[in-house]
Structure 1
Amino acid sequence: MPAARVRRASSGSGDVVAGSTPPAVVIAAPASGSGKTTVATGLIGALSAAGHRVAPFKVGPDYIDPGYHGLAAGRAGRNLDPNLVGEHRVAPLFAAGAAGADIAVVEGVMGLFDGRIADQAAGDGAIGAGGAFGSTAQVAGLLGAPVILVVDAAGHSQSLAALLHGFLGFDTSVRIAGVILNRVGSPRHEQVLRQACARVGLAVLGVLRRDPGLAVPSRHLGLIPAAERNTDAVRSVSEISAKVGAALDLPAIIEVARSSRGPVVTPWSAADEIAAVEENAAGERPGSVAAPLIAVAGGAAFTFSYAEHAELLTAAGARVEVFDPLADPLPRGAHALVIGGGFPEEHGEQLSGNAPLLSDLRAMAAAGRPIHAECAGLLYLLAALDDRPMAGVLAGSGAFSSRLTLGYRDAVALTDSPLFPAGSRVTGHEFHRTRVQWTDRPAPAWGWRDADGRAHTEGTVHRGVHASYLHVHPAGYPEAVARFVRAARGPEAR
């Protein structure tokens, strides 16, 4: 697939005028597990409770944290990942997601300077200005936003000053504006830590005591998605927002955010992306369905989706209807189906018990209708998952595994599908603890080479089905969304 291009943005109802983005602050940390998600979610909730219109973002491919951000903000949490969408799209996507907000909170990924490692990026991921490619530091630079470090202080004393000194000096283009001390043990501990911060000239913008009530329940792939916890998640976010809000210096954090120097950009627009793609597709027959209905799996089992996906589908002329495979039938008259990621292994009995839907899925696949199944969707289309019957669209079975598969993949499409023509190149992301045992795998969907040069194939293409573990961000490949909607219109448009 050709490289994405920078395009003029349009709202669909007139041109969007390029302009400055709202004040923003990036919540980062020296390492994973420091409490970024708790602090970011609590800060978003506290600012919202104070009357601010907060736009929440997450650096990287994570689907789960934005769900908690969204609950706290009352608007969709969005992702900013240079690996998946290209660094040229980060600021425009930020501007679009922050429209109407008066402040933005961006939660980082891993440690501040951690990103895609060099051997994954085929030599293009070395540390440089702004950290590794896709790092929180790089995204903060692209947004012109200051950084606040969340430090797990449980094992720190005076030596915290040395740690902070190292982060301040490692890349001086990254503006670290202050520190939030997390898991502080006592008033004396706090005093020593404040002295360490003062020694390197960093303001303490909040202090959180050790409190088990601030923890969000986790399992094998991290936090339990907010959509699975329903009212419990709402209550947790409310409690976290109250506690974190009381522990932070909100006026000082707002002033830090106001020091951001965001680029003047034209906001990303799904309508404009699709319009540019369709210009290249001029001359193709339009198909027999003007506005195809695309069913999108949702509910507790399929919680992984990027907000831009539905926006692009709609911009391409589709009608989008979300349904819950745990209990709902396939939406009547659906011309195509999207089944994204999630945790079907946690809901196997209910998924297996929705026999009418499983029958409809088999009929849809047999008719050659377009089906885009990603990770959890792949598992759902197999004959069985953890010995429970599933849709049986694909000949194989899935099972939970103790082995974590994680990382970015530079992949090439090996087979024509409703999403990609063979030869298309993408960067996607794998994140799962399951494995597939194929009984009869049709043509593979993807191929790539690992750091040692070994070739791998993954996923499958079968009739209209494209099923794979690989997560691809639709905003990075609007051509694929437009192609999928054209396939949904009917065979004439394929």
Structure 2
Amino acid sequence: MSARGLIVAAHKSGAGKTTVTLALLAALRRRGLAVQAAKAGPDYIDPAFHGAATGRASVNLDSWAMGPGLLDGLVRAAITDSDILVIEGVMGLFDGVGGEPGRTGATADLASRFDLPVVLVIDVSGQSQSAAALLRGFASHDPQVRIAGVILNRVGSERHHRLVASAIEAVQIPVLGVLQRNETIILPERHLGLVQAGEHGDLETRLDALAEMAERHLDLDTILNLAVPPSATIVKTTTALPPPGARVALAQDAAFTFVYPHLVQGWRAQGAEIVPFSPLADEGPGETCDACWLPGGYPELHAGALAKAENFKTSLATFAETRPVHGECGGYMVLGEGLVDAQGRRHAMTGLLGHATSFADRKLHLGYRQARLLSDCVLGKQGDTIRGHEFHYARVTETGNDVPLADIADGEGNPLGTAGQRRGNVTGTFFHAIAAA
């Protein structure tokens, strides 16, 4: 069975598209549908909520970092054995980086490539009839992007609803739902976004409430009827990155949570076995593994426990003597000499690389990254370019004396200098690898 699909997007960040998406996913699953979710862009946190709402692993779709072959393959896999594919957008519908058309990272790229209808969520707080002008502009901005319906969020009163809805009638785009201001359904946040799905003891209750909200306030039948099968120019399917080994030890616990599902799925599809282990439980990588991957997460929240995990640190050092170890973002921080937490306390990390990082004096680092590898490593061969993303508040306080891993540029190709380190079999960088260019 091949699913039909649609995109839930918004006119800006913070308009409520994640809440609407989760409500829609949970409500459609209640109807007995096999619901597959996806997230536009390089977000780790929202897909975990998608998975909780649908019972299926979500997937990232990033038009800037992923080539057409990879995107097409991921979408084809997503619609297999599903009834409907719901893609949650990123930022505003047309927000991306400058560059090649169709590869800007904007949600609109996905709508255009796969000819999927867009349900636009508009935060109408602080406006009434002006919402119609906003909608008209979005509907006419790109003829290859079809706004099939609109959901009005944060409506203040019945009168407010009437004023907005009557103005939108002239735009001839159907209103598919009206949601009142409701602080009780807001999900809590921390410095990298929403508090992760696995940390909510009441997540099932929250999702039930969202499903009930969708059933009361969204026109689910019309939304389902708007969905169409995704279409795209047929290109050869490609993979994101080669597996770092035949048996990959993958750190997975509350400190190491940010690994892209498409990477792990791709490694498995290429024959690799994934062997999880928990540094917080003082576990080391499996002796039968031939590579170790430390993904991002929140090591700054668990720095004390990681500093005391002597078996983990000793086992990892022994592993690294003969086999590759790679850390990205949070994993990179743990590979360094020390990590200063938010309270200014320094904790000893593994010391496999010579840098040190701090979360006490925060600075936002955010954006796409193009990394040209300076030597062979688990990410690729010397000279290869890897596309990825950086999003963290920590900073390097001590650079150490290790060899740089890559020359990096931003999403528009502007050079940013060198990034990451390498020492023997150990490599690390703040950027998250998404796919080979």
After TM superposition, the score normalised by the length of structure 2 is 0.91
User: How far did 1:395 drift?
Assistant: 1.6
Distance in 1, matches of 2:162 and 2:134, equals 17
Contact 1:444 1:458 in 2 (8 A): yes
Q: 1:256 aligns with which of 223, 226, 244?
A: 226
Change (3 A) 1:75 1:261: closer
Between the aligned partners of 2:63 and 2:179, the Cα distance in structure 1 is 32
Q: Return the offset for 1:268.
A: 5.0
Residue 338 of structure 2 corresponds to residue 338 of structure 1: no
RMSD of aligned alpha carbons: 2.4
Distance 1:237 1:325, change over 3 A: farther
SS in 2 for 1:407: strand
- Cα deviation, residue 455, structure 1: 4.7
Alpha carbons of structure 1 residues 455 and 40: separation in structure 2 relative to 1, 3 Å: closer
After superposition, residues 112-261 of structure 1 pair within 5 angstroms as 112-116=93-97, 118=98, 124=99, 133-227=104-198, 229-258=199-228, 260=229
Deviations 1:383-425 (A, max 9, x none): 2111112212112211114321111122211122233222111
State the structure with bigger RCO (CA 8 A, min sep 6), 1 or 2.
Answer: 1
Paired residue secondary structure (2:354): strand
Is the alpha carbon distance of 1:151 and 1:51 closer, same or farther for their aligned partners in structure 2, counting shifts above 3 Å?
same
Q: 2:428 & 2:204 partners in 1: Cα distance?
A: 33
Q: Out of 362, 381, 386, which is 2:317 matched to?
A: 362
Q: Alpha-carbon deviation of 1:144?
A: 1.2
- CA shift for structure 1 position 331: 4.4
State the distance in 1 between where 2:282 and 2:354 align.
Answer: 24
Secondary structure at 2:210 match in 1: helix
1:440 to 400, 410, 420: 400
Do structure 1's residue 52 and structure 2's residue 33 form an aligned pair? yes
Change (3 A) 1:435 1:135: same
Provide the rounded CA distance (Å) in 2 between the counterparts of 1:460 and 1:171: 43
Is the contact between residue 363 and residue 393 of structure 2 (CA under 8 Å) also seen in structure 1? Answer: yes
Amino acid at match of 2:196: P
Judge conservation of contact 1:96–1:268 (CA < 8 Å) in 2: no
Whole-angstrom CA distance in 2 between matches of 1:61 and 1:190 = 34
Higher helix share: 1
Q: Of 70, 88, 91, which residue of structure 2 is paired with 1:89? A: 70
Q: 1:25-69, CA deviations, whole angstroms, 9 ceiling, x for partnerless residues?
A: 100111111011111111111101111101100011111111101
8 Å CA contact 2:285–2:319 kept in 1: the answer is no
Answer yes or no: is the 8 Å Cα contact 2:78–2:85 preserved in 1. Answer: no
Partner residue of 1:67 out of 48, 59, 82: 48
- The letter for the 1-side match of 2:349 is M
Q: Would the aligned equivalents of 2:285 and 2:292 in 1 still touch at CA under 8 Å?
A: no
Residue 336 of structure 2 corresponds to 382
SS in 2 for 1:457: strand
Give the drift of 1:188: 1.1
Shift of the alpha carbon at 1:352?
2.1
Q: 2:39, 2:60 within 8 Å by CA — same for their partners in 1? A: yes
Could you tell me how far apart the structure 2 residues matched to 1:324 and 1:238 are? 31
SS at match of 1:216: coil
Code of the residue aligned with 1:340 in structure 2: it is: P
Q: Distance in 1 between matches of 2:378 and 2:31?
A: 47
What is the CA–CA distance in structure 2 between the aligned matches of 1:239 and 1:299, rounded to whole Å? 28
Task: Normalising by structure 1, report the TM-score.
Answer: 0.81
Unaligned stretches of 5+ residues in structure 2: 341-345
